[in-house]
Structure 1
C-alpha cells in the first residue's frame, strides 16, 4: 500500500469497536475498506474462542505505528483522525519527534457529528490513520467513508 502511495485508512479493532460493528450496520459498512488491526485482550479472547489461538501480536496504534513510522525511510503524509483534538495534536507532535521524515497533521477529531469537507482529506495520499482512544463512540470511520 505505501509503496504504491495509495491512500490507506487504518483502524484498530478493540472489543468496543467489535461490538459496535455487530450492532451498527452503518459502522460496519464504514470499516469495509479499512485495514483493520487487532487491539487488546478482548479481541484476543474472541480469536482464541473462535479460532483456537490469539492473534500473533497486539497491533495497537501506540505500539505498532510509532515503530512502523520510524522504520519507514520514505516520506509519507500522515493524517490523524479520532480521539479528541487535543490528544490527536499531542500524538502528531510526539510522532513528529519520533519520525521527523514524515508530515503529520490532525484532520479531525473522532467524535464530532460535523462532517469535515473533502478538502480536509486532500493531501493525504500516502497514509491516513484513524484511532479511537476513548470509551465513547468514535465517528471517524463513518465520516471517512462519506
Structure 2
C-alpha cells in the first residue's frame, strides 16, 4: 500500500474538495508556497501532483492511477477542476495552482535557498530549463538535470544520482500519468524533500512551447491555445476528453444525490 502524503501533520487539517476518488487541497497560492516551505524546513518528504481535468478523468478511468494520486498531495489546475468542484460542492478553489505558474512563484517567493534537480523532457529542453532557473533565480542552485527518456534498466542509476545530489526540490516533467507513477514508486529512493510533477513546465521554461497570452489564461481558455498549437497530440485529450470529463462529473453528482436520498 502506498504511503499517503495526507498523513503528514501540516497537510491533514487543510480543507479539500473530493472529486471522485481524489481529495484535492483547497488553498491559495501563498498557502501552497508556505506548504512547500514548511516541508523543506522541517525536512518532511512531500510529493505533489497537480490535477487538471485530464488528470481527474484519467483517475476516474483507471483505479490504479487513482490509487497513485491518492498517495500524493494534490493541487488543483485549470478551469475543469474549478468547474467540477463548484458543480459537486458549490465551492471552487481559492487559486489556480497550475504548475507553470506555481513553480516559478515558489522559486521567487519561498525565501529559502533550494537545491533543485530537474528530471524529464528532452535533453535540450531540460538543460535550457535548468539554465533559465539558474539565471532567473540565482538564490537557488540547480544540482542536476536529466532528460526523461530512459528505460527500466536505468531507473536504479537515476534514483541513486538524484539522491546523491541531495535536492530540496525535485521537478519531474514526464507528463501524466507517467510522472505520478514514477514519483509514487521511486520518490523514497530519490530522497528529495519535495517532489512536484510539473508536466510540460520544462518545455515552457526552455521556450520550446509558447504560453497563451495572459487575457486567454485569465478566461480559462489556455487549453484551447495549446490545442491550436499541438492539434495532433492534444485533440483527443481536449475534443473527446472534455465532454467525457463533464459527463463523468455529472455521474458523480447523480451518484451523490442517490446516496443521499437512500439514507
Q: State the TM-score, normalized to the length of structure 1.
A: 0.78
Q: Over aligned residue pairs, what C-alpha RMSD do you find?
A: 2.5
- 5 Å-filtered alignment, 1:16-31, equals 16-31=54-69
Give CA deviations for 1:32-62 in whole Å, capped at 9, x if unaligned.
3322211111111111111112211011112
Asked whether 1:91 is paired with 2:129, we answer yes
Matching residue of 2:139: 101
Greater mean alpha carbon deviation, residues 7-16 or residues 43-52: 7-16
Is 2:181 the partner of 1:139?
no
Q: Is the 8 A contact 1:39 1:60 kept in 2?
A: yes
In our comparison, the structure showing a higher alpha carbon Rg is 2
2:160 maps to 119
Q: Higher relative CO (CA 8 A, sep ≥ 6), structure 1 or 2? A: 1
Which residue of 109, 112, 129 corresponds with 2:171? 129
User: Any conservation in 2 of the 1:30–1:142 contact (CA below 8 Å)?
Assistant: yes
Match of residue 41 from structure 2: 3
CA contact (8 A) 1:11 1:130 kept: no
Unaligned runs of 5+ in 2: 1-38, 186-263
Name the one with the larger helix percent: 2
What count of residue pairs does the alignment treat as equivalent? Answer: 142
Structure 1 pair 43–82 and aligned structure 2 pair: CA distance change class (3 A): farther
* Distance of 2:59 and 2:150 partners within structure 1: 19
Residues 40-49 or 99-108, more deviating: 99-108
